[in-house]
């Protein structure tokens, strides 16, 4: 039986549209934390949005939501993973678009902006899953700069940004900058023992 | 683009849009015309690189384009090959008289229709038939001057093979000298992936941004965002170390 973390929903009630939320999770609870964040946004706040998949392909994520009985057909998925796999872009869902690689950060931003212009929902979020996956491909300074641009772009447009990360595996510069840029923190990360 | 140019291309300017293949020059030019047509302006597109049928077929995929703009005469597309035939210019190279005949034909069309936005795609292909550099300079300078007098804002599309720091922004080295504005389009290679960019190098009469912008050709038109500073140069340059 899948159980949502209700404390996340409670915390989200305090969040405004021009906020940017850093969501920290661990390796083992990533989907539970993601679902516990997204479901209240969709169901309680009737938000639409864009899910940027850098960790797993969009199909896998949609199927994971379907497995717990959550319809995500109103959410648009930008898949940065599947183009790197031959045949990965032949998918049965119309709410998935593809960007060639997590390297193409500006393309991801532009594709997100484009998607937000064509979806019907008035209140929207953008979710990056995850900073860790982007960090595999992108140099630390560039990723920090990108997140700065990304968060400010959506904050200015009153679109809630949700940035998922596993903190003990994020480059320190990126993590400290995220602490600075984000207005809110949902911390379900692992305890870090240095 | 209006934001980058702090208001847009000044009325009556001749702008060189120089770019490598696949960088989005034709789409940018066509969107420039469509935005004008939506504001009720008469527009013209002279195509020298591909037949108009093929151009329109390619451009139909964009949601910003509406075939009614062609049918209603707001956007007029001319095949240069057809124009050459009308003028009796079916020849391998043009002399001074031929160049003047060509300028007169373009200016007459602009004048007759009342065109206020014009795209020539591409000036490179057009100038291949003009063998002398001096004649190319005269052609472009005279054409630009006459179109500006008529209040026509013109985009001259130029094909270049490289858009790096040391590249020329035109094929013949003269187009850039006569243009009021230069927009460079190309690709930045980042770990094997090509990212399209656009940079306004010059635009007389504006306090424009000179930053490199990343672009995407979306169904809604060309979308831009400033290119990441740590990722604005190709791999072969210094970003990944000496």
Note the pLDDT of residue A166. Answer: 92
Give the mean model confidence (pLDDT) for residues B57-79: 93
Residue B164 has pLDDT above 70, yes or no: no
d(CA B223, CA B218): 7
Residue ranges of the domains in chain B?
A: 14-182
A chain contacts of residue B215, beta-carbon cutoff 8 Å: 110
Contact B16, B144 (CB under 8 A): no
Distance from CA of B234 to the nearest CA of A (A): 13
Binding-site residues on chain B for chain A (CB distance < 8 A): 190-193, 195, 214-216, 218-220, 223-231
- Split at pLDDT 50, 70, 90, the class of A168 is confident
For A104, which of B193, B219, B226 is closest by C-beta distance?
B193
Q: Identify the residue with better confidence: B148 or B46.
A: B46
Give the mean model confidence (pLDDT) for residues B203-209: 95
Residue B81 has pLDDT above 50, yes or no: yes
The residue of chain B with its CA nearest to that of A104 is B195
pLDDT digits (tens, 9 = 90+) for A124-135: 999 999 999 999
Residue B116 contacts by C-beta under 8 Å, 6 or more apart in sequence? Answer: B36, B41, B42, B43, B151, B152, B153
Give the mean model confidence (pLDDT) for residues B184-212: 94
- The predicted model scores a pTM of 0.90
Note the pLDDT of residue B165. Answer: 59
- Split at pLDDT 50, 70, 90, the class of B168 is low
Residue B130 contacts by C-beta under 8 Å, 6 or more apart in sequence? Answer: B93, B94, B99, B136, B139
pLDDT digits (tens, 9 = 90+) for A76-92: 999 999 998 887 899 99
d(CA A177, CA A149): 12
Ranges A28-42, B159-173, B206-220: which has the least confidence: B159-173
d(CA A28, CA A45): 27
- Split at pLDDT 50, 70, 90, the class of A191 is low
Interface with chain A: mutation pick from B193, B220, B226, B233, highest number of A CBs within 10 Å? B193
B chain contacts of residue A119, beta-carbon cutoff 8 Å: none
- Are A149 and B225 a contacting pair at CB < 8 A? yes
- Are B228 and A145 a contacting pair at CB < 8 A? yes
Tell me the count of A-B CB pairs closer than 8 A: 54
What φ, ψ does residue B51 adopt, rounded to 5°? -60, 150
pLDDT digits (tens, 9 = 90+) for B83-139: 999 999 988 899 999 999 999 999 999 999 999 999 999 888 888 889 888 888 888
For A110, which of B223, B228, B229 is closest by C-beta distance?
B223
Contact A97, A79 (CB under 8 A): yes
Note the pLDDT of residue A180. Answer: 92
Using CB atoms within 10 Å of the CB of residue B230, give its burial: 0 to 12 exposed, 13 to 18 middle, 19+ buried: middle
B chain contacts of residue A139, beta-carbon cutoff 8 Å: 230
Percent above pLDDT 90 for chain B: 67
DSSP B238: G
For A103, which of B193, B214, B229 is closest by C-beta distance?
B193
B chain contacts of residue A107, beta-carbon cutoff 8 Å: 195, 214, 216
Note the pLDDT of residue B163. Answer: 64
Residue A182 has pLDDT above 90, yes or no: yes
Homologous superfamily of B14-182: P-loop containing nucleotide triphosphate hydrolases (3.40.50.300)
- Are A142 and B231 a contacting pair at CB < 8 A? yes
DSSP B35: H
Q: Identify the residue with better confidence: B72 or A189.
A: B72
B chain contacts of residue A110, beta-carbon cutoff 8 Å: 214-216, 218, 223-225
d(CA B197, CA B138): 31
Give all domains of chain A, ordered by start, each with its CATH number.
Answer: 17-187 (3.40.50.300)
Residue A194 has pLDDT above 60, yes or no: no
pLDDT digits (tens, 9 = 90+) for A45-104: 999 999 999 999 999 999 999 999 999 999 999 999 999 888 789 999 999 999 999 999
ipTM for the predicted complex comes to: 0.87
Residue B35 has pLDDT above 80, yes or no: yes
Residue B100 contacts by C-beta under 8 Å, 6 or more apart in sequence? Answer: none
Note the pLDDT of residue B203. Answer: 96
Binding-site residues on chain A for chain B (CB distance < 8 A): 100-101, 103-107, 109-111, 113-114, 117-118, 137, 139, 141-142, 145-146, 149, 153
B chain contacts of residue A153, beta-carbon cutoff 8 Å: 225
């Amino acid at each position: 039986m899948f159980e949502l973390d209700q404390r996340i929903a409670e915390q989200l009630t305090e969040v405004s549209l021009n906020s940017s939320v850093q969501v920290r999770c661990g390796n083992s609870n990533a989907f539970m934390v993601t679902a516990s964040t997204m479901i209240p946004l969709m169901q309680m706040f009737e938000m639409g949005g864009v899910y940027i998949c850098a960790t797993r392909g969009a199909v896998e994520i949609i199927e994971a939501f379907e497995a717990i009985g959550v319809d995500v057909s109103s959410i648009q998925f930008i898949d940065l993973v599947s183009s790197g796999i031959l045949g990965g872009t032949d998918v049965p869902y119309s709410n998935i678009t593809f960007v060639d690689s997590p390297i193409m950060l500006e393309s991801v931003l532009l594709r997100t902006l484009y998607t937000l212009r064509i979806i019907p929902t008035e209140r929207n979020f953008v979710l990056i899953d995850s900073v860790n996956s982007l960090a595999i491909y992108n140099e630390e300074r560039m990723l920090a700069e990108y997140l700065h641009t990304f968060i400010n772009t959506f904050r200015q447009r009153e679109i809630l940004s949700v940035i998922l990360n596993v903190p003990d595996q994020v480059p320190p510069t990126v993590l400290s900058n995220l602490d600075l840029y984000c207005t809110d923190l949902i911390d379900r990360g692992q305890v870090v023992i240095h | 683009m209006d934001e980058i140019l702090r208001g847009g291309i000044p009325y009556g300017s001749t702008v060189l849009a120089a770019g490598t293949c696949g960088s989005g020059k034709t789409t940018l030019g066509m969107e420039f015309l469509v935005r004008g047509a939506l504001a009720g302006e008469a527009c013209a597109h002279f195509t020298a690189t591909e037949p108009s049928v093929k151009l329109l077929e390619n451009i139909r995929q964009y949601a910003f384009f509406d075939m009614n703009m062609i049918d209603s005469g707001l956007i007029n597309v001319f095949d240069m090959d057809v124009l050459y035939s009308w003028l009796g210019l079916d020849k391998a190279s043009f002399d001074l008289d031929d160049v003047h005949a060509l300028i007169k034909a373009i200016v007459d069309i602009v004048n007759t229709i009342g065109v206020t936005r014009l795209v020539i795609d591409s000036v490179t292909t057009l100038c291949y038939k003009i063998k002398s550099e001096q004649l190319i300079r005269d052609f472009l300078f005279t054409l630009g001057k006459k179109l500006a007098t008529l209040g026509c804002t013109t985009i001259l599309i130029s094909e270049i093979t490289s858009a790096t720091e040391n590249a020329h922004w035109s094929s013949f080295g003269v187009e850039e000298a006569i243009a009021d504005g230069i927009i460079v389009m190309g690709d930045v290679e980042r770990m094997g992936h090509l990212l399209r960019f656009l940079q306004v190098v010059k635009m007389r009469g504006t306090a424009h941004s000179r930053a490199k912008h990343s672009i995407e050709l979306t169904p809604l038109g060309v979308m831009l965002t400033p290119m990441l500073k740590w990722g604005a140069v190709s791999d072969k340059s210094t970003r990944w170390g000496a």
